[in-house]
Amino acid sequence: MLNNDIESFLQTTFNDLHHHAEVSWKEVWTTEYIKRLLTDWGLKPITFDDLTGLYVDIGSGSPVVGLRADIDALWQEVGGEMRANHSCGHDAHMTMALGVIQELLNKKIPKGTVRVIFQPAEETGKGALEMVKRGVADDLDFLYGVHLRPENELPNGYAGSSIRHHAACFIKGTIDGEDAHGARPYMGPSAFQVGSDFGSKIERLSLKTFESYSAKITQFQTIGQNPNIIAGKAEFSIDLRAQTNELMDALIEKIFALADGLSRYYGVPIHLKKEAFVAAAVVDREAETFMKEAIEETLGAKYMAGAIKSTGGDDFHFYTVEKPKLKATMLGLGCGLKPGLHHPDMTFDRRALLAGVRILTRVVMKTLESFGKGGERHG
């Protein structure tokens, strides 16, 4: 049954989702909870046999306007206990998406379809790709998303018309040299020496660009237990960030070239493997214009913050990378969030949930209405 008290519905739903957090690929309870709600509302959600998450269509025909919410939580220590925890705001994103569905079911929707996607495993950087692989984005014309923003990035009560996330890439590496006796260091380079040199070169790496980027070794562990052995083997991780996808490609190429040069210099194999990659934002001007108008009509022009730049990443942007004709942007919602995203004690002003629902409902309706005024569906 539909809940006519939208504010009460949002708070109850958020509490349910927040207290049943589940990590990536294991969002079983979450999927069933959302499916049950949608079914009770007379909708026909689509689930998958081999994947958590789901989507639902409201209306029919073209255009098809999508709204995506991520559903997974992080695994972290909270109050001395390791557990799943919604410290990235995905519980809020799901709640707002469900609120939008309620609002749409109480409205007369213009010709077209609204597809609401509840996507798993955003934190792995691979959930969006799985949805694309299953054809969920094949007939989408527009796609909108939402993400809570930290207080130091966007004040409470404000909203941004796009989030310009950076690309992120995580590389795992190994140094596969030979161990040597602690008394005979001339027998071969230590893995620590090779890794230290690699780290120094990465820190000094320079690309000719005004766009922002960063590269750093975040983990390093030599393999061995004896203090009188010079370890020849080690495992390490590299974190890369870049403002654009093209810059990330250049950065990755540089890192692999550095590893190849050091491998030849020291005479030891260095192997690198890309473990995860998150694409940088590709924002469509038309979609962002609709979002700006929706924010201004909901909050007032004074509280429309425009584009929000973030060095963080989100796999939302894989939809546009994989489907280049798809027009997309992501709402940045100021909500008094502190101490910060991914902090185990993250909190925010839950009154912002209603503002998010109102903005997202407006942007979806605006997009559909634009086609009734002469807009053309792209191929």
DSSP string, 35-59: HHHHHHTT---EE-SSSS-EEEEEE
Q: What is the pTM of this model?
A: 0.88
pLDDT of residue 1: 47
Least confident among 23-32, 136-145, 203-212: 203-212
CA distance 120 to 22: 10
pLDDT of residue 75: 97
Q: Where do the domains of the chain lie, and which CATH numbers do they carry?
A: 6-165+280-371 (3.40.630.10), 167-278 (3.30.70.360)
Mean pLDDT of 144-148: 98
Specify burial of residue 137 (Cβ count, 10 A radius: 0-12, 13-18, 19+): buried
Average of per-residue pLDDT values in the chain: 95
For 335, residues 6+ apart whose C-beta sits below 8 A from its C-beta are 92, 148, 149, 156, 348, 349, 352
Identify which has the larger pLDDT, 2 or 196.
196
Neighbours of 84 (CB within 10 A): 18
> What is the Cβ-side half-sphere exposure of residue 20, based on CA atoms within 13 angstroms?
17
pLDDT of residue 2: 54
Question: Mapping DSSP to helix (H, G, I), strand (E, B) and coil, where does residue 198 land?
Answer: helix
* Per-residue pLDDT at 122 exceeds 60: yes
Position 379 confidence tier, pLDDT thresholds 50, 70, 90? very low
Position 288 confidence tier, pLDDT thresholds 50, 70, 90? very high
pLDDT of residue 225: 83
Least confident among 120-124, 168-172, 248-252, 375-379: 375-379
pLDDT of residue 27: 98
* Per-residue pLDDT at 376 exceeds 50: no
Write out pLDDT tens, residues 344-370.
999 999 999 999 999 999 999 999 999
